[in-house]
Structure 1
């Protein structure tokens, strides 16, 4: 073994939106420096108490945070247990609220994490958002479902709107109907008629003043905006991302050839599919749908002869569309039939693309009913009353209670977008699609010679012809207990798991003594129902960056105030020192 291996401060596994969100946040010097009224109150509270609190360096277990002095009727200093609880709560609240506001100047941001050694590993390529962009390109998706303020820029909540205006690309923004305006007016009138100002009708709770927020960007605009973020923070430098699939993660002392360790603290060893090893003091697992350890859901497990280019595939594994055998039949002007299984947005997108590519008829099978929804979370989690929803979510007594929260259950995610609902129904009206809700495949048989399927369904579909190809748009399930790269972590540092979701700390850390951070859908029990989407990527990055400040021991006392990439430092402190103030 090399006696002096390179040990990075942080290794991020995954170069998708969640990974980019964390990397960008670590390099933002003044995160969220422009505040809303509520955030202004918090900022003044922090400012008021500056210099009255001693911040203990990371790793110190002696006394936690204590007041230097207390008088004039103040309460005595909190106990160590109370301090730990309050620190978690303050860090979580500050991170979640601060992430929704812009910075003073994103263009002038420099790397406050310049001394932080960061490496990104991703199995799909050496570019940011490569898997994401490939998926959108393959499915020919032109528009995001998310609103304008769902993005990964840590410095500016309205950054995408500003970017669209600065580059003259307002035409790349599509208004999301049904959130504000006429619907809101109807909502208010109905509330007044019924009485009771706390009632809500149809879940419409978005203020008219927020209308500008409810536009969705084109996929091209979003990709370019993400590219501008990577350029701003210097994340597009060669070697920032390495194409490596991580297959194992361990956390332990790293021994030399002899008996003495390289360091007196534990570090992470990340082993890749090629056998190469990388080392870090902290690690961030930012893998999303389709990433390592994410189990794709199938109605049945396809055999090797069924799955692939000729028989069927999962929507996350589409390499070319349509499949070669279907494309061949379309070119020969033969009749073609394709089945899509699934009740979410992906199934509608695949159906639309199949019809446009020339498939004669598409059969859409859904296990549940036909559900229509603008977003993958309710408007209540996005509008002016979202703090009420968050309070109800966080007030659950147990993680089991959080998971069972009626506003959070994952099944609610399988919904159709109104725009694609209209498209699907238009195809059905023209005889190019057949929609079958509450229908499952009862039996299946694949003929290798003819490359067709014979299916029977429950309830039966009359005159269902031989099927040329099946697409399973049935989603994926992430379970930390079934992720091979976490086998050693689960064995050495077990934690509670609820339905596959880890019960992380409030800082999204595996355990207080294991600085393995998780963001995205795996942080769902801490971030709420928005965890798997772009908003969750930004909130998760905020919490992780605050905790990494302590984990890596980068705290410096400048005027008794924390300075570093948590964003609480004062860049003008040195000027005050030179002036003798």
Structure 2
């Protein structure tokens, strides 16, 4: 049977989750909202002062423009986009399945974590427009209390003033968490608004090849799928989850697979209680489960298991249970976030950046809400938490069909527990080098890897000569600790689309980005040429200091 002819597209996005949705919607958005308000304000004012160099914004009134938006070039044509999802070929299918399996009622993220490029407040506006404000729950303990004038006067005499709180009262409206149904409906609205429903297909990528046309020097990607289909494109975006290798000391073999699983398998199959365990619950037998991990997923699995009828759960953590609202410090989100980002981006050593990412995320943590749920199960004597404890060994008994888990606590004697099932909520090892479909591509276009993360460019490009882009957790060396979360989706999409716009022929294309050459009409105002890039919302302000002084 002859293979079908490859279909050609401008952009192929591999992945169908929120990161992919952020890139696809940004490619269709002509007037995206600002990521950094101060920078965008300066860009707008620069356009107003230099009308001759930016003819497309001559009639813009700076007072009539929204404070968190900026003008962009018109779109001469719409890009052809193909999104390949390994699962069901539907937007955010795996995301929704995980939320349903773990019965998550509300997200962990605040209101400004979303993939809509049009407005940072788009999710809040959607909730108000639909009359669903009751589905928003305030994240308590984040916004600082108001300081009276009397206290402010007393602080004037303090020689060394602290930085103060991270979030002001005026930002309280942002620190609400939406319900999972509200967020999914909001994403469906984004998909409909940008007409993205028909560009996604089911497809398991088998291989990626990159060539350059000898006559036109045009970059061409050839993406092969496991079912024999193939597609070509000018650009490829990897929008995959960073979970590659599940952290399990010894993978199950044979009949052990029926009584042991990783949390990633729970999300993939869409339910928590395995069939063998469910049969015991239905027969009214006493059941016991060992759950290894100290992150939010472990707390969610424990809650579902106990509510589904499991008699007792042992929660085994190698440290203590860390309770915090987000999986990285609030200082990376609040008004002092630029201090941390400047420190992160000033690090030139990839290993130093990885160390900063690990320090910021600091392993798994649970939210105060789930901590209260665990404490209620603990008070009912159905949950036992084993902090500072590791699993020394595990043995499977075929006769009784259960596990003997040998625990090694940091202090005190060792202990062995007998359980029916073992869940490993221990996360996964990030390793882009272990993605099988990238093996040939990496051999042809090698780059440096650091602790499994690719050392990509500041524009999230694989190499300057290879227009393959990376977004999500694998882009953490450039985005920072937020790369794994929804917060990193919009900033990553903005970098990628801006770089695509620079590479388009003619200076602008449907990326909503226009290349404006400083002094295009022969004028020279004596300014450093790199200031144009900075005013456009790109570049590094700290690197510019040395250039300007020179």
Structure 2-normalised TM-score?
0.84
Report what 1:444 is aligned to: 394
Q: 1:244 aligns with which of 183, 203, 217?
A: 203
Report what 2:172 is aligned to: 211
What is the DSSP-based 3-state SS (H/G/I as helix, E as strand, rest coil) of the residue aligned with 1:531?
Answer: helix
State the shift of 1:262 in Å. Answer: 9.4
Report what 1:566 is aligned to: 512
Report what 1:45 is aligned to: 46
State the shift of 1:555 in Å. Answer: 2.3
What is the DSSP-based 3-state SS (H/G/I as helix, E as strand, rest coil) of the residue aligned with 1:306?
Answer: helix
Instruction: Spell out the pairing of 1:398-547 with structure 2 (5 A cutoff).
Output: 398-405=349-356, 408-409=358-359, 412-459=362-409, 464-547=416-499
State the alpha-carbon separation in 2 of the partners of residues 551 and 228 from structure 1: 30
State the alpha-carbon separation in 2 of the partners of residues 15 and 263 from structure 1: 32
Q: 1:149 aligns with which of 93, 102, 112?
A: 112
Cα–Cα, structure 1 residues 267 and 35, in superposed 2: closer, same or farther, change >3 Å?
Answer: closer
State the shift of 1:495 in Å. Answer: 1.0
State the shift of 1:398 in Å. Answer: 2.1
What is the DSSP-based 3-state SS (H/G/I as helix, E as strand, rest coil) of the residue aligned with 2:255?
Answer: coil
State the shift of 1:330 in Å. Answer: 1.3
Cα–Cα, structure 1 residues 448 and 244, in superposed 2: closer, same or farther, change >3 Å?
Answer: farther
- Structure 1: runs of 5+ lacking an equivalent: 55-99, 255-260, 557-562, 571-581
State the alpha-carbon separation in 1 of the partners of residues 44 and 510 from structure 2: 17
Cα–Cα, structure 1 residues 102 and 331, in superposed 2: closer, same or farther, change >3 Å?
Answer: farther
State the shift of 1:455 in Å. Answer: 1.1
Residue-by-residue CA offset, 1:190-237 (whole Å, 9 max, x unaligned): x94994665257xx4111110000000000000000000000001113
What is the DSSP-based 3-state SS (H/G/I as helix, E as strand, rest coil) of the residue aligned with 1:168?
Answer: coil
Residue-by-residue CA offset, 1:75-103 (whole Å, 9 max, x unaligned): xxxxxxxxxxxxxxxxxxxxxxxxx9457
State the alpha-carbon separation in 1 of the partners of residues 35 and 236 from structure 2: 30
Structure 1-normalised TM-score?
0.79
Q: What count of residue pairs does the alignment treat as equivalent?
A: 499
State the alpha-carbon separation in 2 of the partners of residues 502 and 442 from structure 1: 33
Does structure 1 residue 234 correspond to structure 2 residue 195? yes
CA contact (8 A) 1:408 1:528 kept: no
State the alpha-carbon separation in 2 of the partners of residues 461 and 279 from structure 1: 61
State the alpha-carbon separation in 2 of the partners of residues 401 and 153 from structure 1: 32
State the alpha-carbon separation in 1 of the partners of residues 293 and 76 from structure 2: 43
Report what 1:316 is aligned to: 264
State the alpha-carbon separation in 2 of the partners of residues 16 and 487 from structure 1: 23
CA contact (8 A) 2:502 2:515 kept: no
Instruction: Spell out the pairing of 1:89-488 with structure 2 (5 A cutoff).
Output: 101=68, 112=75, 114-182=77-145, 192=155, 195=158, 198-200=161-163, 204-237=165-198, 240-253=199-212, 264-289=217-242, 294-307=244-257, 310-318=258-266, 319=269, 320-405=271-356, 408-409=358-359, 412-459=362-409, 464-488=416-440
Report what 2:24 is aligned to: 23
What is the DSSP-based 3-state SS (H/G/I as helix, E as strand, rest coil) of the residue aligned with 1:522?
Answer: helix
Cα–Cα, structure 1 residues 423 and 271, in superposed 2: closer, same or farther, change >3 Å?
Answer: same
State the alpha-carbon separation in 2 of the partners of residues 524 and 33 from structure 1: 21
Please, what is the CA RMSD of the aligned residues? Answer: 3.2
State the alpha-carbon separation in 1 of the partners of residues 249 and 360 from structure 2: 18
Deviates more, 1:546-555 or 1:275-284: 546-555
State the alpha-carbon separation in 2 of the partners of residues 448 and 263 from structure 1: 65
Cα–Cα, structure 1 residues 135 and 101, in superposed 2: closer, same or farther, change >3 Å?
Answer: farther
CA contact (8 A) 2:86 2:205 kept: yes
CA contact (8 A) 1:181 1:211 kept: no
Cα–Cα, structure 1 residues 476 and 391, in superposed 2: closer, same or farther, change >3 Å?
Answer: same
CA contact (8 A) 1:27 1:111 kept: no
CA contact (8 A) 2:242 2:472 kept: no
State the alpha-carbon separation in 2 of the partners of residues 478 and 183 from structure 1: 42
- Structure 2: runs of 5+ lacking an equivalent: 56-66, 517-550
